[in-house]
Amino acid sequence: MQATIAITTGEPAGVGPEICAALSRANRPVRFVLIGHHALLVERARMAGVQAAFVPYRRDAVTPPGVLEVLDVDLPAPARPGKLVCENAAYVLRTLDLAIDGCLSGEFAAMVTAPVQKSVINESGIPFTGHTEYLAERTATRRVVMMLAGQYGPERQWMRVALASTHLPLKGVPAALTPEELEAVLHILHDDLRDKFGLPAPRILVAGLNPHAGEGGHMGREEIDVIQPVLEKLRAAGMQLIGPLPADTLFTPHQLARGDAVLAMYHDQGLPVLKFATFGGGINVTLGLPIIRTSVDHGTALDLAGTGKADPGSLFAAVDCALAMIRARQ
């Protein structure tokens, strides 16, 4: 029996609708349910020159390969490529809610998200930090971990980078890295690498916070006071943890070959390297949730919306990762 994956179509003024339409040519053993405004999807596919067939979603339907099912959601205001309007912010969150509810109920095996525009949601009066935090709140999950991943190099090796802190100002990072939080993040990362990625004994490379991993305390004490004690405690419990390592040499081939994933201490410590190596095929995964959620690793690309120039490669990779996670769970 084919798995059913919900695809949220993202910000209606961005590239989300057209890259979702491109799934019509994705030859994958899966049933796609696009959650968004049916007429918008038809229009953007036409504008972008994407040949796609759309039909209304019915849970018990049998759909031919290449046909995209649409769970239709009303769009409050007209959506023009590249033109953000606050009136459609609630629509974006409604698509997420439908996907989350369907995953929690078992109707969908996973959800894959197209990009949203955080700024316009906040400008509409709805506080919104990002997909990761919203999914945690809606699933009543106390802690989640953001991980980006992608294949790189001629041998298409996997690079996985998880974050100990996410959307924080840089000045707020040291205070957020408490022993309790770091331990919780490592538990989530370890358990999901094992249970959702099928790695029976994951090896995790852990970055230090400061330059040169603190240089023995001369450039900061977080490694000595927080990171190292947590790593020693969890190693004693059986985890394979390497570090804390200086971030400027962690992302070398020799070091990466020693691990299955990297834990960076803050957003811009690890993600620039990953995006440089994998952009166009990278993905975002939310760990720690009771459901499977993957996403593209790029933004709404308002300047490309409606042009047909947006590359759907990251969306295809997110679908493939979701499928692999479904199989690992089974």
pLDDT at 157: 84
Element (H, E) at 112: strand 110-113
pLDDT at 2: 82
3-state class (DSSP) for residue 223? helix
Whether residue 73 contacts residue 35, with contact meaning beta carbons closer than 8 Å, is answered with yes
Handedness of CA 315, 318, 322, 327 (dihedral sign): positive
Is 284 annotated to bind a ligand? Reply is yes
pLDDT at 45: 96
Is 167 annotated to bind a ligand? Reply is yes
Whether residue 41 contacts residue 146, with contact meaning beta carbons closer than 8 Å, is answered with no
The amino acid sitting at 219 is M
3-state class (DSSP) for residue 216? helix
Whether residue 295 contacts residue 283, with contact meaning beta carbons closer than 8 Å, is answered with yes
Whether residue 115 contacts residue 14, with contact meaning beta carbons closer than 8 Å, is answered with yes
Is 27 annotated to bind a ligand? Reply is no
Q: How far apart are CA 301 and CA 311, in angstroms?
A: 10
Half-sphere exposure of 168 (CA within 13 A, CB side): 17
Is 275 annotated to bind a ligand? Reply is yes
pLDDT at 1: 65
- pLDDT tens digits for 123-154? 999 999 889 899 999 999 999 999 999 988 77
User: For residue 251, what are the contacts with CB-CB under 8 A and spacing of at least 6?
Assistant: 262, 270, 273
pTM confidence score: 0.90
Is 212 annotated to bind a ligand? Reply is yes
The amino acid sitting at 148 is L
Is 218 annotated to bind a ligand? Reply is no
Output phi, psi for 240, to 5 deg.
-95, 100
Q: What is the mean pLDDT of each run of 10 residues along the chain (330 residues)?
A: 92 97 91 97 95 93 88 97 96 98 97 97 94 94 93 85 92 95 97 93 97 91 96 97 96 93 96 88 93 94 94 94 89
pLDDT at 260: 96
Output phi, psi for 228, to 5 deg.
-60, -45
Torsion angle of C-alpha atoms 71, 51, 279, 111, degrees rounded to 10: 20
Q: What is the per-residue burial (b if ≥16 Cβ within 10 Å, else e) of 71-96?
A: bbbebeeebebeebbeebbebbbbbb
Which two three-digit tokens encode residue 135? 């999914």
pLDDT at 65: 81
